[in-house]
């Protein structure tokens, strides 16, 4: 079930919406973000976001050197491709564009990043030290879109070879973001460390620490963090008791938590599906 992969970061889509209207009306921007996050009808959001995607594309066409617009495009395309794309071909196409926008945003704000795709791992890591807190948002947009891209291409071992770079990138984000850290990065780190089984380099025990941190940071209000914990850690290691406990907690929770309603409703749908399939898996 790929639909729930980036539920923890669904707020990024509304951040992109805010970017579109912030210059015109900051109040409207904030209200739009709140309205989407507290919407309990995922289909309504799914059907409405494509208009924003096309609008962003047109704005980027007019201002191709705007790092802010490029980052917004990266986040919105990554979110839509990871959460709402229903087939692998479409998810691949959407997340490929997301990553292209994310790299362009970084390139505009930090020139050494323009050469990232052709760098060796050591050269890539060496460039991360030069990224400063003012560029943290762009770094996150690129890391977020890259992780969405890699998840959509998880059957391609060449793509998964990039996981160490993305881990290093997100660690740099954590180093420089300070109090402005987006707590969903802890869920991303957990996902990143469980995209591969332990025999192939996955680190589930480190991932567990990140998943637990993600849950704690939201005081348990972000139900999607528990779904990813169950999928990425408990299911991977055949820990049925933990798997079912986490998902039962999600199903029985009140989804109407301010700022998390939409992601919680979708997390509950996914939790019910995973529970119904548990006997076949374990």
Cα–Cα nearest to 42, from 77, 13, 21: 13
- In this structure, the answer to whether residues 170 and 221 fall within a common structural domain is no
Provide the H-helix boundaries in 201-260.
204-217, 223-229, 240-252
Cα–Cα nearest to 95, from 117, 108, 106, 80: 80
- In this structure, the answer to whether residues 80 and 215 fall within a common structural domain is no
Quote the tokens at residue 252: 């029985």
- Torsion 32-34-37-39 (CA) sign: negative
Q: How many domains does the chain have?
A: 2
User: Model's pTM, two decimal places?
Assistant: 0.85
- In this structure, the answer to whether residues 14 and 151 fall within a common structural domain is yes
Q: What is the CATH number of the domain that holds 104?
A: 1.25.40.920
- pLDDT for res 182: 80
Cα–Cα nearest to 227, from 242, 214, 246, 255: 246
Residue 194, in any domain of the structure: no
Question: What is the residue range of 41's domain?
Answer: 1-182
- In this structure, the answer to whether residues 73 and 102 fall within a common structural domain is yes
- pLDDT for res 2: 44
- In this structure, the answer to whether residues 111 and 173 fall within a common structural domain is yes
Residue 26, in any domain of the structure: yes
- In this structure, the answer to whether residues 13 and 148 fall within a common structural domain is yes
Per-residue pLDDT of the chain (282 residues; tens, 9 = 90+): 444 555 555 555 555 555 655 555 445 555 666 777 788 898 998 888 888 888 889 989 998 999 988 998 898 899 889 888 888 899 999 999 999 999 999 999 999 999 999 999 999 999 999 999 999 999 999 999 998 898 888 777 777 788 889 999 999 999 998 888 888 889 989 988 988 888 878 899 999 999 999 999 989 999 999 999 999 999 999 999 999 999 999 999 999 998 889 889 999 999 999 999 999 999
- In this structure, the answer to whether residues 207 and 99 fall within a common structural domain is no
- In this structure, the answer to whether residues 153 and 208 fall within a common structural domain is no
Residue 4, in any domain of the structure: yes
In degrees, to the nearest 5, what angle opens at C-alpha 167 toward C-alphas 121 and 142?
90
Residue 197, in any domain of the structure: no
Residue 195, in any domain of the structure: no
- In this structure, the answer to whether residues 128 and 158 fall within a common structural domain is yes
- In this structure, the answer to whether residues 175 and 216 fall within a common structural domain is no
Residue 188, in any domain of the structure: no
């Amino acid at each position: 079930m790929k639909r729930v992969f980036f539920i923890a970061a669904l707020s990024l889509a509304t951040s992109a919406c805010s970017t579109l209207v912030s210059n015109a009306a900051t109040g409207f921007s904030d209200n739009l973000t709140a309205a989407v996050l507290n919407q309990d009808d995922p289909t309504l959001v799914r059907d409405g976001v494509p208009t924003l995607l096309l609008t962003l594309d047109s704005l980027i066409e007019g201002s191709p050197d705007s790092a802010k617009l490029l980052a917004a495009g990266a986040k919105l395309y990554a979110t839509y491709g990871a959460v709402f794309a229903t087939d692998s071909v479409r998810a691949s196409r959407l997340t490929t564009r997301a990553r292209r926008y994310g790299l362009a945003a970084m390139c505009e704000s930090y020139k050494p990043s323009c050469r990232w795709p052709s760098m060796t791992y050591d050269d890539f890591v060496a460039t991360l030290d030069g990224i400063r807190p003012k560029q943290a948002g762009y770094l996150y947009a690129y890391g977020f879109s890259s992780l969405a891209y890699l998840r959509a291409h998880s059957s391609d071992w060449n793509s998964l070879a990039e996981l160490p770079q993305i881990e290093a990138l997100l660690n740099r984000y954590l180093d420089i973001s300070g109090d402005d850290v987006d707590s969903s990065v802890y869920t991303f780190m957990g996902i990143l460390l469980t995209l591969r089984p332990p025999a192939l380099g996955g680190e589930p025990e480190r991932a567990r620490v990140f998943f637990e941190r993600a849950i704690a940071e939201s005081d348990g209000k972000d139900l999607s963090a528990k779904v990813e914990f169950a999928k990425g850690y408990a299911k991977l290691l055949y820990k049925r008791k933990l798997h079912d406990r986490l998902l039962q907690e999600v199903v029985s929770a009140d989804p109407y938590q301010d700022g998390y309603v939409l992601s919680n409703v979708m997390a509950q749908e996914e939790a019910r599906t995973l529970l119904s399939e548990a006997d076949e898996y374990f």
